[in-house]
């Protein structure tokens, strides 16, 4: 049997995933879960045929160009791949893969939590109890808005968006969606040809699309203004889809009643204006953070590596 390929793993992975990695590869693990700088990534990739990174490691064109020649595949532990410059990877002949499907349930679950948490003022309520500031109950105390029966607009009816729609139907929500094309079944909900057309129908707007040049900053002041007054914005996808200045302004003015957010610009340094507002329900990018899903993401990344090194096409190739 030939030498096992060397895989440089940038973050600490679930135990079962690291066990399989060590069984099948020369695995360069990160037991202390250090966050490597771009220079460290380039240096540590020397002699490795594969890198297994997370979305916390960024591979813009200049980093991709400086990767050692031996690196042939970047098998991401994430469904999102906006942290990798795909053009640069193609130019270098580096295959890029992601981990779709396996995190749709966990992310949809968190999306429902964001919707309910934002609508029912979960942050404010928890703070009152934890800080022993809760003094009384009255009919006017901590009144939020109901999720049940409201209109939910889903931007991006891909894998996660479709599961969110299914879960939301359990809350009798009316589903509206926008994507490049409608789904074959009309049961999916009401399709809108353009995002602008859909926005006036969204009591809740939930973002589930990739970051591309076309979607970066898509949710800006003009589009927020098209939402009904008192709408709620949910973002469990990527911060880059939203213009933070416009979001803060809409939350401050009451145009948006609330926002439930799990993904931010400039993570983990969340815009302090968002943390200062009472009407935000904020989570630290944990959409896929369940034991089941993190194992499945790791195994999916390994399946992609296995296929590549066996000379087959990796199932989740994005470049
Ligand atoms: C993903 O998989 O893209 C999640 O955001 C975690 O990286």
pLDDT at position 187 is: 81
Distance CA 32, CA 43 (A): 18
Instruction: Give the model confidence (pLDDT) of 113-125 as tens digits.
Output: 999 999 999 999 9
- Percentage of the chain lying above the pLDDT 90 cut: 98
What 3-state DSSP class applies to 88?
helix
CB-based burial label for 299 (10 Å; 0-12, 13-18, 19+): middle
pTM over 0.75: yes
- Six-digit token pair at 198? 């859909």
What 3-state DSSP class applies to 162?
helix
pLDDT at position 175 is: 98
- Six-digit token pair at 212? 């591309």
Rg of the chain (C-alpha set): 21
Catalytic residue selected from 159, 238, 257, 294: 238
pLDDT at position 1 is: 52
Q: Do residues 317 and 303 lie in contact, with contact meaning Cβ atoms separated by under 8 Å? A: no
Which residue is it, tokens 């589903």? 175
pLDDT band at 199 (very low <50, low <70, confident <90, very high): very high
Pocket around ligand 1 at a 6 A CB cut-off? 54-55, 78-80, 103, 287-288
- Residue 107, CB half-sphere, CA atoms under 13 Å: how many? 31
Q: Which of 13, 103, 297, 304 has the most ligand 1 atoms within 8 A of CB, as the residue to mutate?
A: 103
CA distances from 243 to 178, 195, 232 (A): 19, 16, 15
Active-site residue, 130 included:
no
Q: Which of 83, 108, 286, 288 has the most ligand 1 atoms within 8 A of CB, as the residue to mutate?
A: 288
pLDDT at position 222 is: 98
Instruction: Give the model confidence (pLDDT) of 202-256 as tens digits.
Output: 999 999 999 999 999 999 999 999 999 999 999 999 999 999 999 999 999 999 9
């Amino acid at each position: 049997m030939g030498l096992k390929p060397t895989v440089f793993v940038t973050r600490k992975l679930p135990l079962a995933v690291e066990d399989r990695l060590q069984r099948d590869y020369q695995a360069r693990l990160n037991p202390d879960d250090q966050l490597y700088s771009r220079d460290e990534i380039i240096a540590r990739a020397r002699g490795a045929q594969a890198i297994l990174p997370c979305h916390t490691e960024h591979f813009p064109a200049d980093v991709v160009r400086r990767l050692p020649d031996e690196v042939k595949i970047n098998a991401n532990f994430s469904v999102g791949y906006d942290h990798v410059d795909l053009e640069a990877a193609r130019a270098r002949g580096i295959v890029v893969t992601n981990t779709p499907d396996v995190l749709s349930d966990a992310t949809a679950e968190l999306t429902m939590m964001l919707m309910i948490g934002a609508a029912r003022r979960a942050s404010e309520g928890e703070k009152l109890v934890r800080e022993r500031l809760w003094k009384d109950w009255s009919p006017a105390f901590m009144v939020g808005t109901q999720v049940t029966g409201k209109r939910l607009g889903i931007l991006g009816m891909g894998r996660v968006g479709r599961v969110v729609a299914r879960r939301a139907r359990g809350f009798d929500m009316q589903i509206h969606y926008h994507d490049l094309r409608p789904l074959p079944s009309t049961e999916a909900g009401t399709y809108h040809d353009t995002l602008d057309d859909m926005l006036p129908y969204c009591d809740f707007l939930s973002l589930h699309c990739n970051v591309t040049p076309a979607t970066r900053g898509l949710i800006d002041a003009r589009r927020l203004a098209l939402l009904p007054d008192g709408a709620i914005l949910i973002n469990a996808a990527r911060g880059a889809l939203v213009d933070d200045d416009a979001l803060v302004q809409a939350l401050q003015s009451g145009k948006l009643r609330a926002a439930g957010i799990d993904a931010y610009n400039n993570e983990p340094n969340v815009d302090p204006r968002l943390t200062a507002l009472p009407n935000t329900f904020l989570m630290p990018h944990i959409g896929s953070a369940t034991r089941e899903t993190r194992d499945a993401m790791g195994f999916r990344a390994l399946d992609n590596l296995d296929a590549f090194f066996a000379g087959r096409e990796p199932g989740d190739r994005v470049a």
